[in-house]
A and B are shown apart, each in its own frame.
Chain A
Amino acid sequence: MHTTLAFISGPNLLWAGLLFGFVFGVLLHRGGVTDYNVIVRQFLFRDFTVLKVMFTAIVVGGVGLFVLHGQELTNWHIKPATMLAVVLGAVLFGIGMVIYGYCPGTGVAAIGAGKLDALAGFFGMIVGGIAYAFSYDWIAANILPVADLGKKRLPELSTLPEWVWYAGLVVMAGVVFALVARFEKTSPKS
């Protein structure tokens, strides 16, 4: 569905992609998540920068989109819950993220910040992408259809109204941030 505010289309989308990506790159770098140490230490519960950045983005973007969608000013873009593929992919992703030390976005941004290991990992990502393209027919036939729930959203799993879910998200973020603040106060700076 075309929405009223979506005036960027056609060739202008190319410039918008470059511009939005640029802003994203600046923010990833300023957020400190283009640093291998920051990312790995998140998984060791020694640095909570990644969680702070991601959860705040989810809450602000989520509430923003909830309001916009209520006014029919945006479309949902839900990825299908092909559960076996999502779980297997996420397990592999978690392992890869700790060894590489970046995720795809922060890896690309880290190259910009001068991290040469991020560049080596980018070549790895290219090879991984090629491997996936070659495996795709088999995966599409054997993995993707297993436990495929479709493009489901969490609110569809219950009869609770949509706003309750977003209120829950805000509360959850508040609790997580409070716990992190307490944890950071009590544990010695390492």
Chain B
Amino acid sequence: MKSHRWNPYLVGVLIGVLSVLTFSLADKPIGISTGIAQAAGACAMPVMGSEGVAANTYWAKKAVPAWDYGSLFVLGTLFGALVSAVVSGSFKLESVPTMWRERFGSSVLKRMAAAFLGGAGLIFGARLADGCTSGHGISGALQLAVSSWTFFIVMFASGIVTAFILFRRNSKA
């Protein structure tokens, strides 16, 4: 089950090296949530039209829906994990994770609805803070940015409180 996993310290070292490379070779930090906001703009286009999307300040200035370094990085992340999962034989379709099932039951609909809502709150928070676990948590924290360490600490505290409220009674897991 754990066979595809490498030592977490090794993975951390390699992500650190990767960020040194992206900074020095491409003058770009590692980041994900801007790319997702760009994708959101692309998804709004069929409904709002490209003029409608371009008229929005955020999509016009902060997260332009187009294929650029940032949005392709997100696509690359998807492919990288897919290839890694297939190659290591750990690719497996799964809807309800173990811990969720033990606590909230095996309803697929319930899990999907929660994931959907959680994802929506997650990205709204990431955009409000101007970064996520990648942009703030790794790229910003390693530059000793005030914003990023604030994000890191508050995010962890908020996650701990949420996790204990949701999973406290889940004594088995």
Q: Which A residues are within 8 Å of any B CB, using their own CB?
A: 2-3, 5-9, 13-14, 16-32, 34-37, 40-41, 43-46, 49, 52-62, 64-65, 68, 73-83, 85-101, 103-118, 120-134, 136-137, 139-140, 143, 149, 151-155, 157, 165-166, 169, 177, 190
Q: Say whether chain B's binding surface is mostly helix, strand, loop, or mixed.
A: helix
Among B4, B19, B68, B149, point to the contact of A61 (Cβ < 8 A).
Answer: B19
Known: A112-B85, A117-B115, A128-B119. A133 touches B58 (CB 8 A): yes
Q: Is the CB of B59 within 8 A of A86?
A: no
Query: Chain A residues near B117 (CB, 8 Å)?
Result: 99, 124
Query: Chain B residues near A143 (CB, 8 Å)?
Result: 128
Q: Is the CB of A6 within 8 A of B26?
A: yes
Known: A41-B99, A62-B142. A86 touches B130 (CB 8 A): yes
- The complex places the Cα of A13 from the Cα of B22 at a distance, in Å, of 10
Instruction: Confirm or deny: B106 has a beta carbon within 8 angstroms of a beta carbon on chain A.
Output: no
Of A29, A107, A112, A169, most B-chain CB atoms within 10 Å: A29
A172 to chain B, nearest CB (A): 11
Q: Is the CB of B27 within 8 A of A6?
A: yes
Among A13, A36, A53, A137, point to the contact of B15 (Cβ < 8 A).
Answer: A53
A138 to chain B, nearest CB (A): 10
Q: Which B residues are within 8 Å of any A CB, using their own CB?
A: 2, 4-6, 8-9, 11-30, 32-33, 36-37, 39-41, 43-44, 56-59, 62-63, 67-85, 88, 90-100, 111-164, 166-167, 173
Query: Chain B residues near A126 (CB, 8 Å)?
Result: 36, 39-40, 43, 123
Known: A14-B69, A112-B82. A154 touches B16 (CB 8 A): no
Query: Chain A residues near B19 (CB, 8 Å)?
Result: 57, 61, 64-65
Chain A residue at minimal CB-CB distance from B97: A36
Among A17, A93, A128, point to the contact of B73 (Cβ < 8 A).
Answer: A17
Known: A94-B154, A133-B40. A99 touches B118 (CB 8 A): yes
Q: Is the CB of B80 within 8 A of A85?
A: no
Q: Is the CB of B69 within 8 A of A16?
A: yes
A14 to chain B, nearest CB (A): 5
Among B118, B151, B159, point to the contact of A124 (Cβ < 8 A).
Answer: B118
Q: Is the CB of B16 within 8 A of A60?
A: yes
Among A52, A86, A97, A110, point to the contact of B9 (Cβ < 8 A).
Answer: A52
